[in-house]
């Protein structure tokens, strides 16, 4: 079937950059775009006219929230060392355990993927937290995640997270590392088995990736084997890196190199590497190593930085600076990482934070953030058929409605969306030519029932903090409202 989508605006691609079409159309057949522009000359079987709307390439989330986000629980609840966000030494001694059942683990992905689609994201590399797990993720649970992705129709790069260690809080409230290398190597073997079994599943909607957890929770052997596997399989590797002062100083102490220097030694600084978040590198004012060596590594390696501005802005941190990284030729992608799973929100915050850090508006433009969410993400994955609307590209297409009152007086489709829009202004989504959302509703999903279950499950997650915190305080002592409850 050949389908024609029409709208008052279309973001097309001219072979090198995005361009804006007025009163244009996008035509696709099967999973492939055939035409972008005016007056398609051939026959079409179906036409959908969205009116005052923007047809956009689907957004690519390189660090996609795949969870019921536990990160929001750190908001104004005091030190995470006291609230069970990290394992206490007592909890580690007793033996970590799962907070969710297998069914609840599956549900969190269904919930997360639904909301990613709802927010205009068509390609996702999901990330979940390990602190409420007994250890890392497993082959069998991710086999079911493949089926959820296929059912909902989201394009997903999947692989169970694996790690050799976990950061925990000692009795004196200092941080330390607990290690279990055999468990880490077993996790890598499960990840490789998963890649070989499921890379290309659901008509290549699901692709494999390697997902070691955090650089400070991995041993040299685990990352060396990951590097070799990535080279053999041509698999992307996403590794959280350069995201805290603690991580930077811990890696320097343990490995006698900066995080980026260590990755370079291991052969992991390649164009297949996707690194959230790339903030704390040598030369940053917050770290002890003041050299410019890491900057040279970033600019010469071809790695991608997955920029997630919202989650860091909450704690007063920011990349220094988006415009500087982009101008140096570093490939920049975007990620959500936290609730809301909204890349428009992250484009807005990313723009504003960049201009505050840079002291003006000259270095970072709106187009730079939009490019990161589309072309930058596609480049990170080695995909010149994603992140653009052009003949031959995958029919990953989203439609943003432009009629909502919160957008204000209309003056420019992308500027209105980036100033006042929300991901949930997405009205329709097509992934690989399949309609997965229409009229703001994700196909086959009862949103009220989904939210009711999420609320119940999140209460269980909050209650689990008690066992991980020192002294097992009840949840009402761990989580505080913005204002005290009236008596």
Query: Cβ(310)–Cβ(28) under 8 Å?
Result: no
Low-confidence ranges of the chain (pLDDT < 70): none
Q: What three-state secondary structure class fits 400?
A: strand
pLDDT digits (tens, 9 = 90+) for 86-119: 999 999 999 999 999 999 999 999 999 999 999 9
- 10 Å Cβ neighbour count for 249? 17
pLDDT score of 80: 87
Q: Where are the domains of the chain?
A: 1-58+387-445, 59-384
Query: Cβ(261)–Cβ(248) under 8 Å?
Result: no
Q: Is-same-fold flag (1-58+387-445; 59-384)?
A: no
pLDDT score of 260: 98
pLDDT digits (tens, 9 = 90+) for 286-337: 999 999 999 999 999 999 999 999 999 999 999 999 999 999 999 999 999 9
- 10 Å Cβ neighbour count for 66? 26
Percent of the chain with pLDDT strictly greater than 90: 99
CATH code matching the domain that covers 1-58+387-445, chosen among 2.40.70.10, 2.30.40.10, 3.40.50.10900, 1.10.238.10: 2.30.40.10
C-alpha dist (Å) from residue 237 to 187, 254, 352, 483: 15, 22, 29, 43
Give the architecture (CATH level 2) of 59-384. Answer: Alpha-Beta Barrel (3.20)
pTM over 0.75: yes
- Gyration radius (Cα) of the chain, Å: 22
Compute the distance between CA of residue 255 and CA of residue 230 in angstroms, rounded to an integer.
21
- Helix 220-233 to helix 181-198 angle, to the nearest 10 degrees? 10
pLDDT score of 487: 87
């Amino acid at each position: 079937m050949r389908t024609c989508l029409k709208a008052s605006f279309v973001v097309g691609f001219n072979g090198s950059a995005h361009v804006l079409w007025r009163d244009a159309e996008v035509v696709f057949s099967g999973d492939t775009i055939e035409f972008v522009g005016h007056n398609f000359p051939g026959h079409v079987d179906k036409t959908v006219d969205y009116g005052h709307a923007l047809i956009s390439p689907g957004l690519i989330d390189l660090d996609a929230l795949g969870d019921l986000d536990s990160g929001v629980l750190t908001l104004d609840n005091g030190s995470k060392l006291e609230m069970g966000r990290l394992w206490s030494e007592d909890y580690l001694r007793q033996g970590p355990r799962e907070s969710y059942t297998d069914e609840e683990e599956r549900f969190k992905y269904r919930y997360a993927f639904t909301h990613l689609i709802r927010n205009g994201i068509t390609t996702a590399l999901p990330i979940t937290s390990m602190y409420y797990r007994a250890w890392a993720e497993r082959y069998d649970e991710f086999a079911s995640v493949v089926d959820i992705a296929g059912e909902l129709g989201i394009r997903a790069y999947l692989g169970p997270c694996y790690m050799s260690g976990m950061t925990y809080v000692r009795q004196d409230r200092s941080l330390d590392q607990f290690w279990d290398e055999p468990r880490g190597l077993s996790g890598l073997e499960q990840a490789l088995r998963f890649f070989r079994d499921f890379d290309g599943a659901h008509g290549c909607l699901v692709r494999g990736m390697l997902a070691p957890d955090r650089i400070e929770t991995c041993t040299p052997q685990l990352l060396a084997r990951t590097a070799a596997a990535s080279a053999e399989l041509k698999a992307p590797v996403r590794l959280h890196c350069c995201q805290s002062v603690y991580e930077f100083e811990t890696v320097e102490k343990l490995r006698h190199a900066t995080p980026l220097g260590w990755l370079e030694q291991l052969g992991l600084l390649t164009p297949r590497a996707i690194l959230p978040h790339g903030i704390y590198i040598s030369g940053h004012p917050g770290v002890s190593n003041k050299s410019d060596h890491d900057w040279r590594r970033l600019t010469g390696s071809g790695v991608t930085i997955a920029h997630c501005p919202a989650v860091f802005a909450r704690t007063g941190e920011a990349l220094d600076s988006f415009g500087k990284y982009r101008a140096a030729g570093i490939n920049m992608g975007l990620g959500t990482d936290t609730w809301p799973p909204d890349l428009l929100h992250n484009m807005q915050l990313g723009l504003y934070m960049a201009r505050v850090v840079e002291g003006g508006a000259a270095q970072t433009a709106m187009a730079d953030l939009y490019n990161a969410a589309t072309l930058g993400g596609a480049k990170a994955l080695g995909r010149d058929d994603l992140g653009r609307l052009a003949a031959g590209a995958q029919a990953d297409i989203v439609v943003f409605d432009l009629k909502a009152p919160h957008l204000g007086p209309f003056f420019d489709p992308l500027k209105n969306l980036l100033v006042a829009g929300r991901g949930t202004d997405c009205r329709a989504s097509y992934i690989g030519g399949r309609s997965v959302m229409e009229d703001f509703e994700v196909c086959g999903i009862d949103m009220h029932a989904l939210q009711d279950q999420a609320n119940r499950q999140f209460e269980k997650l909050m209650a689990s903090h008690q066992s991980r915190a020192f002294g097992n305080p009840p949840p009402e002592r761990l989580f505080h409202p913005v204002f005290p409850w009236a008596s």
